[in-house]
Amino acid sequence: MFNAASMLQADSHCQRSSTGFSFGNRERDRKLAHRHGFIPMPPEITRSCVVGVKYRDGVIIATDRKATAAGMATTNSMKTLYRLQDNIYIGCYGVCGDLHQVARLAAAQMELHRLQTHSSKVPVVCANQFIKHLLYRFHGKIQVNLLVGGVDSGGPSLYFIHFDGTSDKIPFAANGPGQLELAAMAVLEKGWHANLAEQQAEALAIDAVKSGIRNDLFSDSLIHVCVLRTDYSLNLYDKNLAVNLVPKQAVRRETLTLPKVLFAMDHPLQPVAKGLHSASQDADKFMAKGSRTALALERHRARKSKERNETDG
C-alpha cells in the first residue's frame, strides 16, 4: 500500500535557506512520481496584466485584479503590487509563491540597506541590482517577471527584470500572458511620449490595462494604480472601471410550432405492380417515350406476353 506520509518530509540538505526559497518539495515530487506515479499539482500563476509608465515627474504602475488558475471559479485573487520602500514599488507576474517570497526578501534587504547607509531614500537601482542577482543565482527556477518603479535623487526610474536575471531600463513596459501583454504594449507604443503629464500618463496606463482586460475572460474591472512622484509623494488607489466591451447581439429564441394544415385531400395510393396490371392500352398516349415509366411498362408487357405464349404452347 502506498504510504506518502513517510515521504512528505524534505531531505535535510533541502531545507529552507536564508533566502526564503527551498526546492526540497520539487525533489520530493520527483521521487514520488518516479516510484509511485504521483502527479504533482501545477503551480498557481497570477496571469494578470502589469503596466509601467515613466512620465515627466514620476512613475505609474497599474495592474488588474485577476483570479489565479486554481481560483478562477471563485473570487480569489493574488496580490501583484508590492511595496519595497516608500519610494519603490514593484509589479509582479508569475508563480504566486515565488513572487511573494521575492517581494518579501527584497523589501527586507532594502530596509537593511537603508539602515546601514543611514539614508532616507534607497536608490531604485539598488532594488534592481538585488532582484536581478537573486534571480540569476537560481538560474531561472524562480519563475517571476517584475516591473520595478520608483523615484530617487536621480529622478524617476523604471526597470523590467526577467526571470533569468536580465534587466532593462525602459520608459514604459507591459508584463503578463501573451495576449494581454501584446494588447497593453500596443496601447503604450501608440500613446507614450517623453513629455507626458501625470494625468496623461495615468490615463495611458489605465487604457493599457483595460486593453488587456478586453482580451481576457477572467479579469476584473478593478485596476490597482500606484503613482510615485519626484517630490516623494505617493498616490495608491483602486479604480473601478466598467470596461466597454463590444455589445453582443440579442439571441432570438423562437419556439418551434407545427405548420397549420389549411385543407387536406385524400389521394388513393396503389402498389406499382397493381398499377401496371391495370394500366390501359391507351397509357402510351400519356407517357413520354423513353421515360422510366414507359420502359417499365414495356418490359412488363413483354414479360406477360412471353408467359402467355409459353402457357399456350
pLDDT tens sequence across 24-68 = 676 777 777 777 777 767 667 777 889 999 999 999 999 987 644
290 lies in the same domain as 234: no
218 lies in the same domain as 288: no
Q: Collect all residues with Cβ–Cβ distance below 8 Å to 143 and sequence separation of at least 6.
A: 43, 94, 95, 98, 163
| pTM greater than 0.75 (yes/no) | no
87 lies in the same domain as 217: yes
236 lies in the same domain as 297: no
Gap between the Cα atoms of 223 and 211, Å rounded = 12
Higher pLDDT among residues 286 and 146, named by residue? 146
Grid coordinates given for 144:
517571476
Within a domain: residue 265? no
Tens digits of per-residue pLDDT, 237-273?
Answer: 888 765 444 555 566 666 777 777 665 555 555 555 5
Higher pLDDT among residues 195 and 74, named by residue? 195
Within a domain: residue 259? no
For 188, list phi and psi in degrees, rounded to 5.
-65, -45
137 lies in the same domain as 283: no
| Through-space distance between the first and last CA atoms of the chain, rounded to whole angstroms | 93
Grid coordinates given for 3:
504510504
149 lies in the same domain as 281: no
* Domain carrying residue 298: 275-303
Grid coordinates given for 30:
520527483
Per DSSP, the chain holds a count of helices (H) and strands (E) of 7, 10
Higher pLDDT among residues 33 and 230, named by residue? 230
CATH number of the structural domain spanning residue 80: 3.60.20.10
**Cα three-residue angle 124-127-131, rounded to 5 degrees:** 145
Pick from 122, 131, 125, 136: nearest CA to 99: 131
66 lies in the same domain as 200: yes
Provide the domain count of the chain.
2
195 lies in the same domain as 291: no
Gap between the Cα atoms of 187 and 273, Å rounded = 79
Gap between the Cα atoms of 55 and 154, Å rounded = 14
pLDDT band at 284 (very low <50, low <70, confident <90, very high): low
Spatial contact of 278 and 301, defined as CB atoms under 8 Å apart = no
Within a domain: residue 99? yes
295 lies in the same domain as 234: no
Within a domain: residue 299? yes
Within a domain: residue 166? yes
Percent of the chain surpassing pLDDT 90? 35
Q: Collect all residues with Cβ–Cβ distance below 8 Å to 4 and sequence separation of at least 6.
A: 32, 36, 38
286 lies in the same domain as 226: no
Within a domain: residue 257? no
Element (H, E) at 299: helix 292-312
199 lies in the same domain as 299: no
Gap between the Cα atoms of 199 and 158, Å rounded = 18
Within a domain: residue 146? yes
85 lies in the same domain as 217: yes
DSSP state of 38: -
What are the strands, taking DSSP E only, across 23-107? 50-55, 58-66, 81-85, 88-94
Within a domain: residue 262? no
Higher pLDDT among residues 55 and 222, named by residue? 55
